[in-house]
Structure 1
């Protein structure tokens, strides 16, 4: 029985232990124009270069996060090789599977050692962790605070805007 247990333990370590599924990583460099990053896998020093960074997007719209060095991120490893897809080439895909070379950053990870602001925890919040600027939706209200810039044609429907309590 001991031999069978040892066999299956080694099988698991050698087969399943070699599969890359997902990992927590740390941004080393980030290119917001190409939406790619160099990422160090944690724990350890494995560096993966030119990792695509997932963003919320459609053909016409996008939401981009301003990742910077040291940010913790979730990295997933795609089942098949992604080079041909990322570069839109017609070359047939290789047989590579679940390799670290086929990583994608899917989101930032907030480590348990770094609390998010407690304010508006039950609302949708887009904001700076410092609280300097926030956009909050919840309870029937939309609240914008801090230095917010709007570019383009801005339409306001509803109650007139007021500065300092006076309509303008």
Structure 2
């Protein structure tokens, strides 16, 4: 019997080499991960985030361990903002988020704005994350989710502003309206 062509060409070894190379590349590539906010800085509008998924590593003795990703520091938050308006949120420790990792180093852009050169040539790095607020796990789903109106509400729904076609409904223990009196 002859030797299979894949063995003669060393194809089996190349396949294993490339499989391990791609596995190593993928294990270091960051795209997005759920996180839990540990601290919020309202001045810089950044958070410290603990990634909520542990990673399995294999040590030199081929033993598997689950490890937490180190705390992500100074992560810019993402909130709805455009045209001179912003929807601010009272970010609290324990809030969940989705951390999205940028394609390249964000340091120069984040500190100076505008179009900037990269300070370092890195891709999808843990230090280049953005915290997208408003993502949550199943234990934190909202009760009485409205299917008929847009709402700005507290998690428990006890205080809310609801808007549906032709109607605005405000539910609160106190409603304050400030402004200049209207004159005709």
Smaller-chain TM-score bracket: 0.7 to 0.9
The CA RMSD measured in Å over matched residues stands at 2.3
1:6 positional shift: 2.8
Deviations 1:33-72 (A, max 9, x none): 3211011111243201110001222352211111111111
| Contact kept? 2:109, 2:116, Cα under 8 Å | no
Segments of 4+ moved more than 6 angstroms: none
1:151 positional shift: 3.6
Q: 2:179 aligns with which of 139, 152, 155?
A: 152
For 2:82 and 2:14, locate their aligned partners in 1 and report how far apart those are by CA, in whole Å. 52
Could you list the runs of 5+ residues in structure 1 that have no partner in the other structure? 156-168
Aligned length: 155
Match of 1:38 in 2: 48
- TM-score, normalised with respect to structure 2: 0.74
Q: 1:140 aligns with which of 157, 166, 169?
A: 166
- TM-score, normalised with respect to structure 1: 0.80
1:154 positional shift: 7.5
Report which of the two has the higher share of helix: 2
What does 1:16-35 align with in structure 2 at a 5 Å threshold? 16-35=26-45
For 1:21 and 1:84, locate their aligned partners in 2 and report how far apart those are by CA, in whole Å. 20
